[in-house]
């Protein structure tokens, strides 16, 4: 089994995209990318935009090679979009999807906005999206719905993915954020050797004060039973997340890494340092106007 992580906050933009290659499948999971519209009262810095474009191009390239595409839920950093934001992955940019099998979160227990996005993607592709929760297909299996974060309310549910080959079992647990014990126990029941997941949103600790403690307990539970744990996404929208990962790694014998480290790269937490980016690399006038034009505006600005 070959695992390549395409995008994550440790690569500079919001994503949880990866490709898993087995003997007979090339599985692209959560083909999306996004940028936080505002952070510290500032629009994304051009360095962040460049990182998002790099991820976008990797996802599009992987899409062209995929036999299967999995969408765990319908948030803009996990799926192709109908041009809601010029820095997400636009549906119109997708290469041919003939012959690709789609496996998607169903329409149950999702928000009205997610329902709209699900419907738009279905219309663009030209066929009804499947509801894949609980489905098994060869070496691939999907979970029943689990909460996005601690509870379903507000953010709905997500679908986790299990892929096995030989003695290796990879689980993409999507945005569970390690905040729901039942979801964590479902991951453990799959007996994974490697798990790729969103950690808790420590950057929102003022809104979710229990995030750090509950997620730590759940992360320890997983890490003590799994060879390799890749934690990123919500967790690395702040530098506090790096310390959280290192502290967890020091408490267990298994590997606990962020996505960039897993891929042998140096982490770049660009969203977390947006204010510093503006201070160290001031943006000339005209950037805010160029930003609203998307890729064309960015290239014109450069």
Tell me which residue of 120, 62, 123 sits closest to 94, measured CA to CA: 62
- Angle, CA of 174, 176 and 180, to the nearest 5°: 155
Residue for token digits 């647990």? 173
Signed CA dihedral, 175, 10, 66, 126: sign only: positive
Fold adopted by 2-301 = Metallo-beta-lactamase; Chain A (3.60.15)
Q: Which residues of 166-199 are buried (b: 16+ CB within 10 A; e: fewer)?
A: eeebbbbbbbbbbbbeebbebbeebebebbbbbb
Give the pLDDT of residue 210: 62
Q: Is 221 exposed, middle or buried (0-12, 13-18, 19+ CB in 10 A)?
A: middle
Please state at what angle helix 211-223 crosses helix 240-249, rounded to 10 degrees: 30
Q: What is the pLDDT, as a whole number, of residue 157? A: 95
Q: At 61, phi and psi to the nearest 5?
A: -65, -45
Residues whose CB falls within 8 Å of the CB of residue 224, separated by 6 or more in sequence, listed in order: 252, 254
* Nearest residue to 244 via CA among 234, 173, 254: 234
The answer to whether the beta carbons of residues 259 and 252 sit under 8 Å apart is no
Query: What is the pLDDT, as a whole number, of residue 128?
Result: 96
Tell me, what's the pLDDT at 198? Answer: 96
Residue ranges in the chain whose pLDDT is less than 50: none
What pLDDT score does 291 carry?
74
The predicted pLDDT at position 82 comes to: 85
Domain ranges of the chain: 2-301
User: How far lies 14's CA from each of 48, 118, 133, in Å?
Assistant: 10, 20, 24
- Between CA 237 and CA 218 the distance in angstroms is 20
Predicted confidence (pLDDT) per residue in 78-96, tens digit: 999 987 677 889 999 998 8
């Amino acid at each position: 089994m070959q695992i390549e992580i395409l995008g994550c906050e440790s690569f500079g933009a919001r994503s949880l995209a990866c490709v898993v290659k087995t003997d007979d499948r090339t599985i692209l999971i959560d083909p999306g990318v996004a940028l936080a519209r505002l952070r510290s009262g500032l629009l994304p810095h051009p360095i962040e935009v460049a990182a998002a474009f790099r991820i976008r191009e990797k996802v599009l390239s992987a899409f062209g090679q995929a036999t299967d595409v999995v969408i765990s839920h319908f948030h803009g950093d996990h799926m192709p979009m109908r041009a809601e934001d010029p820095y997400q992955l636009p549906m119109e940019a997708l290469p041919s999807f003939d012959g690709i099998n789609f496996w998607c979160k169903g329409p149950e227990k999702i928000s009205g906005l997610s329902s709209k996005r699900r419907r738009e993607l279905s219309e663009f592709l030209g066929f009804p999206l499947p509801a894949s929760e609980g489905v098994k297909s060869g070496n691939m299996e999907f979970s029943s719905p689990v909460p996005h974060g601690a509870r379903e309310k507000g953010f709905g549910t997500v679908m986790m993915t299990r892929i096995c080959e030989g003695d290796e079992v990879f689980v993409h647990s999507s945005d569970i954020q390690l905040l729901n014990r039942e979801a964590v126990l479902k991951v453990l029941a799959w007996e994974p050797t490697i798990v790729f997941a969103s950690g808790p949103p420590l950057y929102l600790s003022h809104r979710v004060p229990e995030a750090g403690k509950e997620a730590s307990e759940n992360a320890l539970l997983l890490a003590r039973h799994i060879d390799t744990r890749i934690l990123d996404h919500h967790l690395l929208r702040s530098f506090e997340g790096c310390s959280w990962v290192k502290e967890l790694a020091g408490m267990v014998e298994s590997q606990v890494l962020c996505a960039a480290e897993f891929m042998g790269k140096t982490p770049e937490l660009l969203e977390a340092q947006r204010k510093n980016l503006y201070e160290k690399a001031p943006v000339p006038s005209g950037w805010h106007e160029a930003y609203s034009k998307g890729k064309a505006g960015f290239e014109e600005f450069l």
